[in-house]
Amino acid sequence: MRADIVIGMQWGDEGKGKVVDYIAPLYTSIVRFNGGPNAGHTVIADGRSFTFHHIPAGAFMRKKLLIAPGMLVNPEILNEEIESLKKVASEFYLKIDIRTSLITPAEVELDKKIEDLKGASSIGTTLRGIGPAYSSKALRISPRVSDVLSGNFDASIYKKLYNIEFDFGAWVQKAKKTLSGYAFDVREELLKSLENGEKVLFESAQGTLLDPIYGTYPYVTSSNTTSAYAFVSSGIPFKYAGKVIGVLKAYTTRVGKGPMPSEMPESLAKTVRESGKEYGATTGRPRRIGWLDLPALKYAKEINGIDEAFITKLDVLSGLNELKVAVTYAIDGKETDRFPSPEVLERAQPVYQSLEPIPKLGTDDISHIIKNGWISAPVQMKNYVDFIEENLRVKVSYVSLGAERERTVKVD
């Protein structure tokens, strides 16, 4: 069978957690394949709410939850996450690949140190040690799950190189306790599962524009956020690639620094931030807000090979006095719909097209649309979705009108 992939098409926090939970019934296993606890994927369903940091967001749907080795795991944060999840999901099947690299306290401290050293040019990372831990992996000095389990790991290089003191022995013991029940050859399990005709869903963290190669470097994360990385990370051959589902927030948000051409003035951003509860699920930081950015989305579509889109948070745009979309950029006096390199993007001026604003939708209006289907949505909302479909040339399969699982409508 095929492995489908859920990808964030913007700068993260598109609502990937909600989407994964919603489509999970179609799959046997859900696999996280990039990033680490910098991610925060929120699922609200059956009266429960949970923000996943490492664990795939299919827990409420009782799916096999797998962590591929191209991810990073911080055993201390994972332990807290497992204990919290036990309170809301009594049983779950979780396996972590033995090759997965671990984040140590040294790397968390180093993340802060580097941000401090950069001063005004800091990235605004989540301070979860992501950049330093992927660097340690590239330097071949990272402990992996298998190293912690075997106890065969020499930490002296950390002390020499990073000059950061921590009790490595105590850390290993704690990490071993957390990981020993979950360590597994995830790659082998996944391959068998695909060969047996089961369906697999890859769940990306972050978003396309935070990719370290194709994103707005240097204001990016440190592992690839695009669809091809699902296969590299999990060791699954590319021939199993199924469809790529792009998650697209109805407007744009960004946490941390870096260019964002369609950013709104703060007076309007404030309104959207409050109604959309746009505060980081991992760090609590206020998210920057902008209008939908078509050149950026076209670029994300190309890089990932998006087959269909899931639009989230459309309810948040309802009731605004204006509705705009950045359709092109003006760069040095020329108009283009191509997404340029990051240093050029800094100079890009958005060229907006105004659409008819979507009238305010209350809880009853949303329930009415959920009950009666997309056909019953306000015409302005349907026009907005048609506009995205036509300009992006991607089928929009679902629209999300609220954080809860059931607030989802199929677009016919």
Handedness of CA 351, 312, 286, 244 (dihedral sign): negative
The token duo for 83 is: 């204990």
53 binds, among ligand IMO, ligand GDP, Mg ion, none (CB under 5 to 8 A by kind): none
| Inter-CA distances, 29 with 55, 92, 355, Å | 12, 12, 40
Rule CB under 6 A: choose which of 9, 27, 34, 41 binds ligand GDP: 41
Is residue 17 part of the contact set for ligand GDP (CB under 6 A)? Answer: yes
The set of residues, in sequence order, having a beta carbon less than 8 Å from that of 412 and lying 6+ positions away, is 373, 374, 375
Q: Are 350 and 326 in contact (CB under 8 A)?
A: yes
What's the closest the beta carbon of residue 262 comes to ligand IMO, in angstroms? 17
Is residue 40 part of the contact set for Mg ion (CB under 5 A)? Answer: yes
Q: Which positions from 150 through 209 interact with ligand IMO, judged by CB under 6 A?
A: 205-207
Closer residue to ligand GDP in complex, CB, 178/253: 253
The set of residues, in sequence order, having a beta carbon less than 8 Å from that of 195 and lying 6+ positions away, is none
SS3 326: strand
What's the closest the beta carbon of residue 134 comes to Mg ion, in angstroms? 19
Is residue 125 part of the contact set for ligand IMO (CB under 6 A)? Answer: yes
Backbone angles phi, psi at 188, to 5 degrees: -65, -45
Backbone angles phi, psi at 355, to 5 degrees: -120, 165
Q: Is the omega angle on the peptide bond into residue 218 within 30 degrees of 0, that is, cis?
A: yes
Active-site entry in 41, 53, 97, 293: 41
The distance in angstroms from the start CA to the end CA of the chain is 26
Closer residue to ligand IMO in complex, CB, 123/269: 123
Residue whose C-beta lies closest to ligand IMO: 256
DSSP 8-state symbol, 304: H
| Active-site residue, 41 included | yes
| Active-site residue, 368 included | no
The set of residues, in sequence order, having a beta carbon less than 8 Å from that of 208 and lying 6+ positions away, is 7, 8, 9, 10, 214, 215, 225, 226, 299, 300, 303, 304
Q: Which positions from 126 through 145 interact with ligand IMO, judged by CB under 6 A?
A: 126, 128, 130-131
Rule CB under 6 A: choose which of 210, 269, 317, 399 binds ligand IMO: 210
Q: Are 7 and 238 in contact (CB under 8 A)?
A: no
Residue 380 half-sphere exposure toward CB, CA atoms < 13 A? 18
Active-site entry in 4, 13, 21, 293: 13
Closer residue to ligand GDP in complex, CB, 57/106: 57
Is residue 38 part of the contact set for ligand IMO (CB under 6 A)? Answer: yes
Considering only 30-38, 155-163, 311-319, 382-390, which stretch makes contact with ligand GDP by CB under 6 A?
Answer: 311-319
409 binds, among Mg ion, ligand GDP, ligand IMO, none (CB under 5 to 8 A by kind): none
What's the closest the beta carbon of residue 379 comes to ligand IMO, in angstroms? 32
Is residue 273 part of the contact set for ligand GDP (CB under 6 A)? Answer: no
| Residues 83, 85: Cα–Cα separation, whole Å | 5
242 binds, among ligand IMO, ligand GDP, Mg ion, none (CB under 5 to 8 A by kind): none
| Residues 174, 168: Cα–Cα separation, whole Å | 10
Closer residue to ligand IMO in complex, CB, 41/377: 41
Rule CB under 6 A: choose which of 30, 73, 123, 244 binds ligand IMO: 123
Is residue 53 part of the contact set for ligand GDP (CB under 6 A)? Answer: no
* Helix or strand holding residue 300 (H, E): helix 294-304
Is residue 350 part of the contact set for ligand IMO (CB under 6 A)? Answer: no
Handedness of CA 257, 258, 264, 265 (dihedral sign): positive
Rule CB under 5 A: choose which of 4, 5, 6, 13 binds Mg ion: 13
Is residue 278 part of the contact set for Mg ion (CB under 5 A)? Answer: no
Rule CB under 6 A: choose which of 105, 124, 212, 357 binds ligand IMO: 124
| Placement of tokens 């580097």 in the chain | 114
Q: Which residues are known catalytic residues? A: 13, 41
For binding to ligand GDP (CB under 6 A), which residues are involved?
Answer: 8, 12-18, 40-42, 44, 276-277, 281, 312-313, 315-316, 400-403
For binding to ligand IMO (CB under 6 A), which residues are involved?
Answer: 8, 12-13, 38-41, 123-126, 128, 130-131, 205-207, 210, 219, 221-222, 255-256, 281
